[in-house]
């Protein structure tokens, strides 16, 4: 008979103590496989506990499969072979704590920074509170797979007004970031596609494609964007481009080249993924029309994000699909739940519908423009440096006319607390024709730009 | 000389009107390719506008590539071939409005419903307001790629306390829903894997795998979960299982079978994706230990979600990776931004740290348990129906002992406003051995259960 010491003063219920004792005895083979357990009544009497307590412990052991009951006979121990006995792959779980320390830089010309100082936080918080107050239970339901319909209406209106894009809310898919969108596109377009990205370009796209083992070509650029010669002689059928403000060179693809790319796509039945990531911030004249707005052949998948113009923490991007892909999504991918929380979708809807988004963009455009002017002023006396890509977006390229050691400049700047980056970092192969730096100015204010350039002007 | 009518009363600036006129003339070949434009001075005098206005219009045309300037000569029209001239694929954009109408059912036994009536909305809103007040600028920054560290600490504590899982926050990845997690796992595990899912099972997993054209086997179940015979003789190396409460059958895989599956994985160097989607809601005795907690060979990827136990709108799931995959993620996938908004991550952290999550789970467990009891009471007099899978989770199976036309029952129930589903819907191939219904009870309260069963008892 099993004799266990049960602790009546413990917080752990008696049935659970009994269950643990028996389980441990089974696992350590003190009770053998096939052995019959004492009846509930006998064990209860032996341990001076209630039959109900034993029954509860036995039921737990049954439900976990340690024992089984045979009708009108009793309880028996199962044959449990622990995986411990087999040779274990020796993985040593060294719990390395993640490095959560902040940057040591004082002046950061990062291209992925966003000006959180100028985010209209109090308005956003006010709208959030309104959503919390008004929406209540609706917030707990899932949104439609493509995103909240009301948000998609606002996005369609915005695209019409600011990017000349005519689209229906049905064509728009909202999702948790542009990288997630690329995942969706890969599934939408299916197998046996050959992708191309710009070289130099935005690394993450190529990384995602490579994570899926998808063939990717790197197309060189000329002064107008992707080289048509290379595009035409490639055998790719999905092209990722950023024609409004090529990353990182800042090239704005002119209308002629836009039509050439569209013609290529129409003739080859290829798709173009147009990444319009920072086109809101155009500082001179009207925006160049998006490829999507010039496309009569439904070849363009238009992508944009609120990460660059609002806050990266929001994780809200969207894309506009051509109708054939809309139908495909509706038929085959409706099973995907939308990845953005309803709460933030409602808040963003209010933010756009209330005109706050437009005002914020206009305000930020002026702020960013003044930063470019500050940089221009700071560079005034230097004939060796040419600014490129300064009419749009959130970063510029500084090209050096004389031969300088760009890595030495970056290193020296780093030692003075200034973050800059080499344009060659964005080349998958080859190098930029001239030594050049990429400077993002979305995360640094005018005062700090002036301070940083005092130092930089001494370095180069 | 170009003669355009300019509207001085219009809100559209004169330079923009001029730009539009010239652009349209270029596109309609009224001005030919190669033609020289009038000089800025001449055109300004002709139209009685300032030279600066003409210059702005010309610059816009240059930046969009319609014209180009030749130094010391003047402005010329580019050769723009519009894609209009080539044969367009005739896609007819019929803007079909999405069907946004609500369900017509009165009593819904849906398996994907969540009880939003009992969500602690006022507490959640209070925490949200606290986050808005206290966190301020931090909310605008991106979270770490794996998710907010403080949230991952709370999840690790919870897993330790409730599921016997020992893991470090470094092993946890937070993401926008379980479907997104499967996308990540596919990339983490790489090419040339053969996956298996349970048959019957949760359809979405197989759909995602098929969207990536990944070979998937459907493994049959016996009374204890995935059939070992089929598993051992398959050539798969990634197995998706729901051992705590198999969907839809409700089978709880006993400890013996758990060790067998783990042994198979260790010997074959395979991975197990353990989907623990509703294990919080266990109604009798202690929970069966998770596969992850029994695994000494780092073969288990543990997945769970807050969609089932909090609200589907939150889109927050997580997984616990074995260390080899943690290292792989840290080395190769840090480029992925986290897909969940910081705001909701902070709120959920507070919700868990404040003990609200635990209280909510305990409360819901009692509510759901009373619903099962209500169903049992409603079925009391019916010997032909056996309830399965009632000890855990958010749905049960009603198996009919006599031969009934299950689809006729579902149809009749539908006509009375009751939603039920045929278990065969969850079979990829084959049928359930007996006619059976799957009833989710997370979206229907006791009163409605009683009303629905008054009708159902008449139907079967």
CA distance B120 to chain A (A): 11
Radius of gyration in angstroms for the set of CA atoms belonging to chain A, rounded to a whole number: 31
**Section B230-251 average pLDDT:** 94
Residue A89 has a pLDDT of: 35
Residues of chain B contacting residue A337, judged by C-beta atoms under 8 Å apart: 177, 179, 307, 312, 315
Sign of CA dihedral A19, A23, A29, A33: positive
**Section A316-321 average pLDDT:** 96
Using one digit for the tens of pLDDT, what is the confidence trace for B157-213?
A: 999 888 888 899 999 999 999 999 999 999 999 888 999 999 999 888 999 999 888
Residue B249 has a pLDDT of: 93
Flag whether residue B82 sits within 8 Å of chain A, measured between CB atoms. yes
- SS3 of A221, please? strand
Residue A93 has a pLDDT of: 39
Q: Which value does ipTM take for this structure?
A: 0.72
- Quick one: what percent of chain B has pLDDT higher than 90? 48
Using one digit for the tens of pLDDT, what is the confidence trace for B393-421?
A: 889 999 998 889 999 999 999 999 999 99
Characterise A269 by phi-psi region: left (phi > 0), alpha (psi -120 to 50), beta (else). Answer: left
* B140·A213 Cβ contact <8 A: no
Q: Which long-range contacts (CB under 8 A, 24 or more apart) does A88-95 make?
A: A88/B266, A88/B296, A88/B297, A89/B266, A89/B269, A89/B297, A89/B298, A91/B297, A91/B298, A91/B322, A91/B323, A91/B324, A92/B323, A93/B168, A93/B298, A93/B323, A94/B323, A95/B168, A95/B170
Using one digit for the tens of pLDDT, what is the confidence trace for B257-277?
A: 999 999 999 999 999 999 998
Q: Inform me whether the pLDDT recorded for A82 exceeds 60.
A: no
Give chain B's mean pLDDT. Answer: 86
**Section B97-124 average pLDDT:** 72
Q: With a CB-CB cutoff of 8 Å, which residues 99-138 of chain A face chain B?
A: 100, 114, 116-117, 119, 121, 125, 128-129, 132, 136-137
Residues of chain B contacting residue A255, judged by C-beta atoms under 8 Å apart: 64-66, 78, 80
- CA A316 – CA B343 distance, rounded (Å): 13
Flag whether residue B76 sits within 8 Å of chain A, measured between CB atoms. no
Using one digit for the tens of pLDDT, what is the confidence trace for B358-396?
A: 889 888 888 999 999 999 999 887 888 999 988 888 899
CA distance A459 to chain B (A): 31
Residue A10 has a pLDDT of: 82
Token output for A128: 């959030």
Residue B23 has a pLDDT of: 86
Flag whether residue A385 sits within 8 Å of chain B, measured between CB atoms. no
Flag whether residue A211 sits within 8 Å of chain B, measured between CB atoms. yes
Stated pTM of the model: 0.77
Residues of chain A contacting residue B83, judged by C-beta atoms under 8 Å apart: 259, 262-263, 266, 294-297
pLDDT band at A113 (very low <50, low <70, confident <90, very high): confident
Out of B83, B140, B258, name the one closest to residue A266 (CB).
Answer: B83
Top-confidence range, B81-95, B123-137, B296-310:
B296-310
More confident residue, B167 or B309: B167
User: Cα dist. B95→A152, A155, A161, A166, A359 in Å?
Assistant: 14, 16, 19, 12, 30
Q: What is the DSSP letter of B455?
A: H
- CA B243 – CA B225 distance, rounded (Å): 7
Q: With a CB-CB cutoff of 8 Å, which residues 315-354 of chain A face chain B?
A: 315, 322-324, 332-333, 335-344
Residues of chain A contacting residue B263, judged by C-beta atoms under 8 Å apart: 81, 83, 86
Q: Inform me whether the pLDDT recorded for B427 exceeds 80.
A: yes
Using one digit for the tens of pLDDT, what is the confidence trace for B313-361?
A: 788 999 999 999 999 999 889 888 899 988 889 999 999 999 999 889 8
**Section B431-446 average pLDDT:** 92
Out of B117, B168, B341, name the one closest to residue A341 (CB).
Answer: B341
Residue A102 has a pLDDT of: 52
Q: Inform me whether the pLDDT recorded for A362 exceeds 90.
A: no
Out of B100, B128, B288, name the one closest to residue A64 (CB).
Answer: B288
Token output for A217: 């070509």
* B144·A342 Cβ contact <8 A: no
* A116·B140 Cβ contact <8 A: yes
CA distance A15 to chain B (A): 9
Q: Inform me whether the pLDDT recorded for A67 exceeds 70.
A: yes
Which residue does chain B place closest to A82, by CA atoms?
B259
Which residue does chain A place closest to B244, by CA atoms?
A64
CA distance B412 to chain A (A): 27
**Section B432-458 average pLDDT:** 92
* B339·A257 Cβ contact <8 A: no
**Section A167-185 average pLDDT:** 93
Residue A97 has a pLDDT of: 47
Phi, psi dihedrals of residue B438, rounded to the nearest 5°:
-105, 125
Q: What is the DSSP letter of B167?
A: -
CA distance B59 to chain A (A): 8
Residue A213 has a pLDDT of: 87
Residue B291 has a pLDDT of: 95
Which residue does chain A place closest to B263, by CA atoms?
A83
* B78·A213 Cβ contact <8 A: no
Residues 6+ apart with CB under 8 A from A119: A310, A311, A360, B140
Flag whether residue B284 sits within 8 Å of chain A, measured between CB atoms. yes
Q: Inform me whether the pLDDT recorded for B93 exceeds 50.
A: no
Residue B285 has a pLDDT of: 64
- SS3 of B81, please? coil
More confident residue, A313 or A405: A405
Flag whether residue A1 sits within 8 Å of chain B, measured between CB atoms. no
Residue B103 has a pLDDT of: 64
Q: Inform me whether the pLDDT recorded for B295 exceeds 80.
A: yes
Chains A and B form CB pairs within 8 A to the count of 276
pLDDT band at A403 (very low <50, low <70, confident <90, very high): confident
More confident residue, A79 or A360: A360
Out of B60, B141, B335, name the one closest to residue A207 (CB).
Answer: B335
Edge-to-edge strand order for the sheet containing A317-320? Answer: A172-175, A317-320, A300-305, A271-275, A238-241, A195-199, A216-222, A225-226
One-character DSSP codes across A42-104: HHHHHHT--HHHHHHHHHHHHHTTSEEEETTTEEEE-----GGGSPPP------PPP--PPP-
Contact between residue B248 and residue B200 where contact means Cβ atoms under 8 Å apart: yes
CA distance B323 to chain A (A): 6
Q: Inform me whether the pLDDT recorded for A285 exceeds 80.
A: no
CA distance B336 to chain A (A): 7
Flag whether residue B166 sits within 8 Å of chain A, measured between CB atoms. no
pLDDT band at B137 (very low <50, low <70, confident <90, very high): low
Residue B10 has a pLDDT of: 82
Characterise B292 by phi-psi region: left (phi > 0), alpha (psi -120 to 50), beta (else). Answer: alpha
* B284·A315 Cβ contact <8 A: no
């Amino acid at each position: 008979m099993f004799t266990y010491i049960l602790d009546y003063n413990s917080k752990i219920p008696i049935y659970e103590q009994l269950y643990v004792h028996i389980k441990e005895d089974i696992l350590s083979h003190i009770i053998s496989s096939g052995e019959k357990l004492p009846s509930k009544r006998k064990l209860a009497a032996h341990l001076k506990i209630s039959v109900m307590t034993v029954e509860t412990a036995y039921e737990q052991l049954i439900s976990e499969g340690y024992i089984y009951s045979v009708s009108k006979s009793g309880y028996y121990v199962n044959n449990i072979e622990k995986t411990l006995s087999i040779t274990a792959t020796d993985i040593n779980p060294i719990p390395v704590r993640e490095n959560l320390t902040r940057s040591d830089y004082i002046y950061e010309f990062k291209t992925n920074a966003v000006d959180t100082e100028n985010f209209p936080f109090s308005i956003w918080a006010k709208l959030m509170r309104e959503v919390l107050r008004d929406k209540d239970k609706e917030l707990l339901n899932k949104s439609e797979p493509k995103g909240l319909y009301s948000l998609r209406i606002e996005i369609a209106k915005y695209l019409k007004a600011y990017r000349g894009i005519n689209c229906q809310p049905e064509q728009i898919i909202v999702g948790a970031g542009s990288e997630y969108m690329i995942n969706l596109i890969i599934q939408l377009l299916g197998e046996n596609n050959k992708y191309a990205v710009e070289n130099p370009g935005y690394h993450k796209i190529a990384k995602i494609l490579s994570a899926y083992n998808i063939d990717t070509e790197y197309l060189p650029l000329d002064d107008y964007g992707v080289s048509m010669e290379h595009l035409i002689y490639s055998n790719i059928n999905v092209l990722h481009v950023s024609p409004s403000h090529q990353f990182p060179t800042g090239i704005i693809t002119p209308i002629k080249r836009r039509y050439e790319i569209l013609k290529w796509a129409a003739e080859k039945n290829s798709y173009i993924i147009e990444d319009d990531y920072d086109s809101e911030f155009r500082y001179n004249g009207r925006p160049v029309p998006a490829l999507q707005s010039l496309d009569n052949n439904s070849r363009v998948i238009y992508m944009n994000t609120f990460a660059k113009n609002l806050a990266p923490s929001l994780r809200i991007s969207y894309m506009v699909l051509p109708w054939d892909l809309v139908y495909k999504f509706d038929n085959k991918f409706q099973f995907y739940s939308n990845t953005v929380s309803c709460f933030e979708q409602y808040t963003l809807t209010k933010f756009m519908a209330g005109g706050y988004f437009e005002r914020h963009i206009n305000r930020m455009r002026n702020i960013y423009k003044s930063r470019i002017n500050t940089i221009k002023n700071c560079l005034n006396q230097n004939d060796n440096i040419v600014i490129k890509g300064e009419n749009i977006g959130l970063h510029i390229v500084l090209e050096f006319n004389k031969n300088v050691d760009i890595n030495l400049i970056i290193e020296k700047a780093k030692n003075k607390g200034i973050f800059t980056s080499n344009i060659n970092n964005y080349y998958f192969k080859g190098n930029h024709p001239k030594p050049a730096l990429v400077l993002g100015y979305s995360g640094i204010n005018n005062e700090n730009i002036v301070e940083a350039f005092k130092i930089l002007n001494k370095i180069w």
